[in-house]
Amino acid sequence: MKLEAVEIVRVAMPLVTPFRTSFGTTTTREVVLLRAVTDQGEGWGEAAVHAEPFYNEEFVDAALIVLERFLVPMLCELDHLTAEAVRPALRLVKGYPAAKAGLEMAIFDAELRAQGISASHALGGVRTRVPVGVSVGISPNLGHLVDTVERYVEAGYARVKLKIEPGADLEPVAAVRERFSDLALQVDANAAYGPGDHAHLLGLDTFDLVMLEQPFAREDLAAHATLARELRTPICLDESITSADLAAQAIELEACAIVNIKVGRVGGLLSAKAVHDRCQDLGVPVWCGGMLESGIGRAANVALASLPGFTYPGDLSGSDRYFHQDVTEPFVVEDSHLAVPEGPGLGVTVRPEVLDELGAERHLVRPS
């Protein structure tokens, strides 16, 4: 397969509800989509990069420059392009895992569409639908938080994740647990705590949580291991896990009992599968994290989550959890599950009229 061009599409998608974390509040999600044009057909991918460099070093403006100046030209030089060839071809560019993941996804989509194979089948998926949960950001007050969780429970979500941070942790978790005694509940700290918060975090054991996700900085595996020895609640790592080797290292150090896998964080679907496979070999369960993706990235996540090692509900949700309208046909939650697309490639169709309505910016990058 030969890459002839890549169309970079930048679009701001209005959110149903402003998304607030310890990093601030946003009312739109800047989405970066990539349309790969090859001699065998086209494919779409999504670079799940954020507008600001707060989750990791990568952010939209920088990713767009790197895509146009380096990543796309590198792939255009290959005479026999496959999804497997993307990662080694881009190895000289340090970082930018989401940009690389978006390109790999688009090539994978084009390759599989040409072969008539679904992404789930190509990855080794074993499910036709996957369990999903919903993530709830920091709320302005306890009443608002409990009401928000109640709406999602009534909508059919069987698992809820609460974002927490210093000053907004034990009390809100207690309020939700008091109202929903049987709800599968977990919390995500997004590395907001330091080792000095160790004793405070032990208080989370009161609430019968499914897991505590990423309490400390991504590089501080030792602090996670220390906490894990005393905390009954299982620790899950997110930001710390950027490769299969790092997952194995964290597991060996007993820094986590569960691993969150995000396609954009680890550099692509094939890298995500490698993390899954390593964790499965080591007997550690995984689940699929979301990064406010459109239907394109969501389709890739759902295909990934169909693999056998994904035993916890993913942060995938339905399209209407985040967007008034999606750029593909919407994903709909039924009985706290999403159906795995069965069509070739990612199995979804991009809706150009939605991109036009949202004022998408398009830029076609061709070989020089």
Report, as residue numbers or ranges, the catalytic residues: 163, 262
Element (H, E) at 276: helix 269-281
Query: Which residues touch 181 (CB under 8 Å, ≥6 apart)?
Result: none
**Through-space distance between the first and last CA atoms of the chain, rounded to whole angstroms:** 18
The rounded distance, in Å, linking the Cα atoms of 154 and 151 is 5
Q: Supply the DSSP string of 59-93, one letter for each residue.
A: -HHHHHHHIIIIIHHHHHT-SS--HHHHHHHTTTS
The rounded distance, in Å, linking the Cα atoms of 79 and 46 is 23
Secondary structure tally for the chain: helices H, strands E? 14, 13
Contact 216, 191 (CB under 8 A): yes
| 254 burial via Cβ count (<10 Å: 0-12, 13-18, 19+) | middle
Angle between helices 142-154 and 170-179 (to 10 degrees): 40
The rounded distance, in Å, linking the Cα atoms of 49 and 53 is 9
The rounded distance, in Å, linking the Cα atoms of 368 and 366 is 6
Which parts of 215-324 are beta strand (E)?
235-237, 258-261, 286-288
The rounded distance, in Å, linking the Cα atoms of 269 and 210 is 26
